[in-house]
Amino acid sequence: MSEPLVSVLMPLYNSQAYVAEAIESVCRENYANIELLICDDASTDDSLAIARDCAAREPRIRLFTREQNSGSVSIVYRSLAEAVRGKYLIASDSDDVAMPRRLETLVSLAERHPETSLVYGTVYVVSQDLATRLGVYATPFCPFRLFRNNFIPDGGALIRKAAYDAVGGYDPKVKWAEDYELRLRLATFGPMIHTDKLVYLYRHHSESWTARNLDIAEEESFKQNLLRREKATVERIRTGRITCYRDAVIAAYYLAATDPTSPRSERHAFPHLAARLIHRSVGSVMYLLRIVAPKSVERLGRSVMYVASRIVKRFTRRAVQAWKRTPLFHPRITGSALTAALAEAGLRAGDQAMVHCSMSTIGWIIGGAPTVVDALTATVGEGGRLIMPTFTYQCDLGTSEPTAPPPAWQRYRPNLPCSREMGAVAEAFRCGAGTFRIHHPGLSLALWGNDAEGFAARHRLFDSFSPSSPLGELYPDAKIVMIGTTFETVTFLHLAEYLAEVPYQDYSHYFGMSDENNPVIRLRTTGASAAFTKFTGLLNSGLLHARTVTLGNSHVTVIQARELVDFAAKMLRYLPDFVLGETTTSCRERRQLLNAHAAAAALPFGSMRSGPTDAANWRANAVSQR
């Protein structure tokens, strides 16, 4: 008999109700070149007898038994892994069901990407009778998100045996989430790739090992132990040195372990907390209804609860918005208080700064948006320079070329107001005296201060946020000012995508224009900014020269742009999808470009490029591209 390519591991303990179905699902998979290793951990029911009966009929099954219960499934997994003969190994729990094409799908993906440590597919969480889908695991890989929580169920993940051996395999000291702990180490060895094809059904019931041995404290413990073991790497990362894929993964873990949220007062957070609690309560009721109700009642209940949840969500969202607009419970902030906070945070006369502001987050500013603009201009003075995004999202026509000219409201013109998402301060700044707009259909910037007119004249239509854009000229000396905002708003981070030469850097959008002869233009665009918040932990790392000062309900933060951009570019050099979201169409399309590039190169992401463009060269390139 030839050596199997895949070894399937199945720990078994008191699963007589499900084990026959679990074994049968593995043996009936389309991929035949396997061995199924089953270890009974001293079951007290008929599980072992059922497994023996299956093994008698299936020569690919190798059955092991333990006379005493191990007390830890990681011990069982480790003993099974020591007996495998395959190039790959995969777990398959004794109460779950493998889809017929699971191994065929995953082995094909792993063979096309020999650089990976693990490949995984989509997994459905299902009810005890397999009839109801309770949840879906279908998250693209990101080490930052992996450190926050496990999104790769065992039965949907194919592990390369060489990677397993390199990281030391299952840790027998870990009694809960042993698969999660192993994956955190595997991710430092090599990339993980996800396919959206359904490969596994994870049965949810109260008697499962996970349900009976839940221990969040142990999970936190092995995460912190991992970072302690990587202390030397973390220290190098804190000094800005990221030189390989492994460094980038540890950096992502470190960012996830540090405080992921911007400073925010408890009073400001209360409405959001209340909204989340209500949403979770509704979700819990729906979940219980699925479990205890008859089918007909469940369907009716689901419809009623769905409508009720939509009403509750809409109500709480409007309540939060109304609370933000009500001055009664907000601190009243004067222009002088804002000016003092800006100075304390590190904004100085003569500085050039890109500013992001959310008045509703801070509190009630006396005088409104003009007060904020006046405080900023007074702080940097005429010798300084202020820049604010004045984006017009309504002009973004997407990636498909329009079949007809866009209507007037979707066309960019120099005096077009900012989108509402940009806030009142950006609009007040755009309309202010001495402000010049750097035109871009969709992603324009407004400028005030030293040589504002000349600076604006040098930058017209440009590749959005590339080295040839205004950000390229501002990068060496600029500061980033966040007034009540998070890293999600930091436009400068888009420059890092270009400096890292991410494979999706040529992604482009169509925009509406006011020119009747040329109503549509196509320009390069970078990724969405929702994932920029992953860099928030840098504020606590000491890596950035940054200072945060409390103001009202929120904060004022000033950061050196170059330090942030350089760190982000090093991360993106090895993790080019680090700042891509999961849900938006544009991010999914950018991920497809990454996957196509990786498939063509047959290399890990970290081997695609030689590194971020040298600072001395990219400025010269920027000038030549204008």
Residue extents of the structural domains in the chain: 6-227, 266-325, 332-576+583-625
Q: pTM to 2 decimals? A: 0.82
**pLDDT for the residue 386:** 97
Distances from the Cα of 321 to the Cα of 125, 271, 324, 423, 482, angstroms? 35, 9, 5, 14, 21
**pLDDT for the residue 206:** 61
* Nearest of 214, 116, 203, 241 to residue 604 by alpha carbon: 116
Q: What is the mean pLDDT of the chain?
A: 84
Q: Are 479 and 347 contacting, i.e. CB atoms less than 8 angstroms apart?
A: yes
The DSSP-derived string for 76-117 is: HHHHHHTT--SSEEEE--TT-EE-TTHHHHHHHHHHH-TT-S
Tens digits of residue pLDDT in 409-439: 999 998 999 999 999 999 999 999 999 999 8
**What tokens were used for 427?**
């609009």
% of the chain with per-residue pLDDT over 70: 82
**pLDDT for the residue 602:** 52
Architecture of domain 6-227: Alpha-Beta Complex (3.90)
Please say if the pLDDT value at position 573 is more than 90: yes
Question: pLDDT tier at 505 (50, 70, 90 boundaries)?
Answer: confident
Tens digits of residue pLDDT in 475-489: 999 999 999 999 999
**pLDDT for the residue 285:** 62
Q: What's the distance, Cα to Cα, between the start and end of the chain in Å?
A: 66
**pLDDT for the residue 614:** 32
For 160, list phi and psi in degrees, rounded to 5.
-75, 125
**pLDDT for the residue 618:** 27
Question: pLDDT tier at 606 (50, 70, 90 boundaries)?
Answer: very low
Please say if the pLDDT value at position 216 is more than 90: no
The DSSP-derived string for 267-306 is: HHHHHHHHHHHHHHHHHHHHHHHHHHS-HHHHHHHHHHHH
Please say if the pLDDT value at position 595 is more than 60: yes
Please say if the pLDDT value at position 212 is more than 90: no
Please say if the pLDDT value at position 292 is more than 90: no
